[in-house]
Structure 1
Amino acid sequence: MSLFLLKLDHKSLVINKSLEQVARENPDIHFRAVAIHRNSTTIIPSGKDVFIENDLAYVITQPDDIERLLRLSGKVNFRISKIIIAGGSRIGRKSATVLQNYKNVTIIDKSDERIEQLSDILTKSLIVKGDVRNIDMLLEEGIETTDAFIAVTNSSETNILTSLLAKKFNVPRIITLVENIEFIDIAQKVGLDAIINKKLITASYITKFILSEKVSTVKYLTGADAEALELIVKPNAPITKKPICELDFPNEAIIGGYIRSGKGFIALGKSQIRAGDKVVVFVMPKDMEKVMTFFE
């Protein structure tokens, strides 16, 4: 299964439609909307909830349905060839190390020491010394014909600013590192949708360790208040006693899907969870404990 964050603009075919209506009109697309971030508020949706323009929708789907889901949301899948990475920090360096084997990568940093280090490692990348906030320099490096821009300097402000510059030049794919958690909502409001935050990633590992052995994975949904849990179902757990639609599951939580014998399934109301399944649950923090009781 795959989890997508989709920003719904005017081109989306689901605007002003309820989740029930979208599912009814597209029976061949297997998906489940598990969270909607709207006006700084996170919603765990029901079938009656309606998508509106500028929603950030977290949707879980199967690999075979990704293309159709993207078309439904008004997105176009395209080939990425040219990439600019702003910042030669550890994230930028590791990203370039992998991407340079498949793509045309340019990495920009203003530190002489870092440029020297990058030159020893990135033998297939173009390494440029300069200030990524300089528009003329970005133009010289071909920002107007770039397919993807990755802003991973040590400054959240610089990353947001340079990402907005890339957006101005119509770069199709932009990824922004935002270390200040308070800035995440601001970044999304100005149209930066692909946000990464190391503190939230670290928090995911800590939470997984603290909760219990039933939890195999915890992911914080960047910009949203909800969390994604992958829970291993124990024998005789309450969640195995009834189909999902008959469970008294918390209102602020939703079962997105489950993995059984290595195969992923989108959760439906009639789905019956079994012992040994790995169940993906999206939940608001206040209902975390209630959700855990279904797996004990």
Structure 2
Amino acid sequence: MYIIIVGAGEVGGYLARILIEERHDVAIIEANEDLCRDLDATLDALIIPGNGISRDALVRAGIDRADLLLAVTEIDEVNMITCMAAEKLGKQDLRTVARVRESGYLAGDGGTISTTDLGLDLLIGPEQAVASKVVELLHYEGTGEITHLANDQIVLLELPLTADSPMVHESLSNLRPDLPSPSLVAAVRGAKGLRIPGGDDTLAVDERAYVITTPENIDEFLIMSGNPWHHVKHVLIVGCGNIGYHVASQLEQQRIFPTIVERDHTRAEKVAKHLKHSIVLHGDGTDHDLMREQLEEASDAVVVLVEDDEKAMIIGLFAKHLGAKKVIVRSDQLDYTPIAHKMGLDALISPRRAVADAILRFVRRGPIASTVMLGDHEAEIIELNVPVSPKNEALIRSPLKEMTFPEGALLGAIVRNGRTTIPTGDTILEPGDRLLVVSLLDAIAGVEDLLQ
């Protein structure tokens, strides 16, 4: 697929690397010439210095042959206008995606503008989705992340393993009878990166296990991970931009009334007017006296959502030092993840990753229903349906042990008629089955080809 990305900031640069790794042809339009030179030296992509609104830049990028255009600059209006210009210049089946941060542009979020109104294929505003994930993580202290899949019939748990966990120092084959059923340890992230484990693999303290299971097993897995947990009652939010506002709003709906620390006085006043039950303080999360005062009264959980990654990490670490039981930090620097976990931070939330997830789902339409990135995009969980197609006759007539499954990929779970099972070599797939496949990056294309 030939893809044009407009805007090579955090989101655009990250997407470019992912899509190039997956063997798509990529062109990038970027206004910052210094950044263009850096990209030209590091990426196998066509780099066009310029503005996405410019007809000349779009033409030089090859808009006439593009299959997909992703407008992901920091300015909503530029993204939408770029997509509309591309629709005029591109081929008839060109698909366009605009990233928007202002929720008023999203018809499904109380806004008035739809993709149909603008002639676009997709408007992506990840803030509410990120906020929902934060709120869910607050309720489960022992997890790094929780992702719902297959219409909420399956969950993917990221479990930090402590010395108190019965899951460590035991081979997975020996451990399997003691795990809640159905479940599968689909991937493990340790000091050497992410791996898809085999039966002889042994889990270690401080590693993170990615477990596929069903919602009713969440509590039992939290206990098995060795992480104590309790119901969150007191939440401190540091930084109240769009994501912080949505987190506070969702918590209020659950009758949890957070305290908010916001540095910008105008923003603090605006938030205070709209959140009827939260306490909004004008202050800075780096003010140690302020943080100490807030956490002395209650220290269930701290959510740090300031947009400066390094500052957010420092605030999160200080909150942990002051006794916060759970600390969630906004960070788009995924390289920080192993260090953050080592230093006691419970979870890093990345809006950039949320955008990438949404766009990848759109790029891979067809049998693929959703994708979830693991680690620093070292692997993915792919949720897909077995299509009803003559091409799949051989696929659905043979047991899995007779299939040539791509190396580096693992079939993790099957949902059939509302029932979740962990497949064995004797399992035979049926049309309409919903599958969860764990795949390293270089095996994704093979998985897609197998199940087209």
TM-score norm. by structure 1 comes to: 0.92
Return the offset for 1:82: 0.4
Amino acid in structure 1 at the alignment position of 2:195:
I
**Structure with larger RCO (C-alpha < 8 A, sep 6+):** 1
Change (3 A) 1:103 1:114: same
- Where 1:141 maps in the other structure, the secondary structure is helix
* Structure 1: runs of 5+ lacking an equivalent: none
1:281 to 421, 437, 451: 437
| Alignment match, 1:36 | 188
Show the 5 A alignment for 1:145-294: 145-223=298-376, 225-235=378-388, 237=392, 239-294=395-450
CA distance in 1, matches of 2:399, 2:222: 30
CA distance in 1, matches of 2:294, 2:346: 24
Return the offset for 1:113: 1.0
CA distance in 2, matches of 1:262, 1:96: 34
Return the offset for 1:180: 2.5
Bigger mean CA offset, 217-226 vs 159-168: 217-226
Return the offset for 1:161: 1.1
CA distance in 2, matches of 1:92, 1:40: 34
- Where 2:383 maps in the other structure, the secondary structure is strand
| Alignment match, 1:11 | 164
CA distance in 2, matches of 1:144, 1:166: 13
Contact kept? 2:182, 2:420, Cα under 8 Å: no
1:63 maps onto 2:189 in alignment: no
Contact kept? 1:13, 1:73, Cα under 8 Å: yes
Return the offset for 1:209: 2.1
Change (3 A) 1:273 1:192: farther
CA distance in 2, matches of 1:38, 1:142: 32
Contact kept? 1:201, 1:220, Cα under 8 Å: no
Structure index of larger Rg: 2
Return the offset for 1:157: 1.1
| Alignment match, 1:2 | 155
Amino acid in structure 2 at the alignment position of 1:22:
L
CA distance in 1, matches of 2:297, 2:406: 48
- Where 1:149 maps in the other structure, the secondary structure is strand
Aligned residues: 295
CA distance in 2, matches of 1:217, 1:260: 17
Contact kept? 1:110, 1:131, Cα under 8 Å: yes
CA distance in 2, matches of 1:202, 1:270: 38
Bigger mean CA offset, 34-43 vs 256-265: 256-265
Amino acid in structure 2 at the alignment position of 1:157:
E
1:97 maps onto 2:253 in alignment: no
Return the offset for 1:104: 3.0
1:54 maps onto 2:210 in alignment: no
Change (3 A) 1:27 1:114: closer
2:240 to 88, 93, 97: 88
Return the offset for 1:28: 4.8
Contact kept? 2:166, 2:224, Cα under 8 Å: yes
CA distance in 1, matches of 2:208, 2:296: 26
Change (3 A) 1:143 1:39: farther
Return the offset for 1:269: 4.0
CA distance in 1, matches of 2:238, 2:402: 50
Change (3 A) 1:170 1:181: same
CA distance in 1, matches of 2:448, 2:259: 46
Change (3 A) 1:147 1:229: same
Contact kept? 1:143, 1:171, Cα under 8 Å: no
Return the offset for 1:23: 0.6
Contact kept? 2:332, 2:353, Cα under 8 Å: no
Amino acid in structure 2 at the alignment position of 1:95:
V
Superposed CA offset, 1:149-186 (max 9, x none): 11111111122111112222332222111022333343
Superposed CA offset, 1:247-289 (max 9, x none): 3323422222122233433344443321111111111111111
Change (3 A) 1:30 1:17: same
| Alignment match, 2:176 | 23
Superposed CA offset, 1:222-254 (max 9, x none): 445111111111135354233334433234222
1:79 maps onto 2:235 in alignment: no
Change (3 A) 1:181 1:68: closer
CA distance in 1, matches of 2:430, 2:401: 15
Change (3 A) 1:40 1:126: farther
1:142 to 271, 295, 314: 295
TM-score norm. by structure 2 comes to: 0.62
Amino acid in structure 2 at the alignment position of 1:107:
I
RMSD of aligned residue pairs (Cα, Å)? 2.0
Change (3 A) 1:18 1:116: same
CA distance in 2, matches of 1:77, 1:182: 27
Return the offset for 1:30: 2.7
- Where 1:188 maps in the other structure, the secondary structure is helix
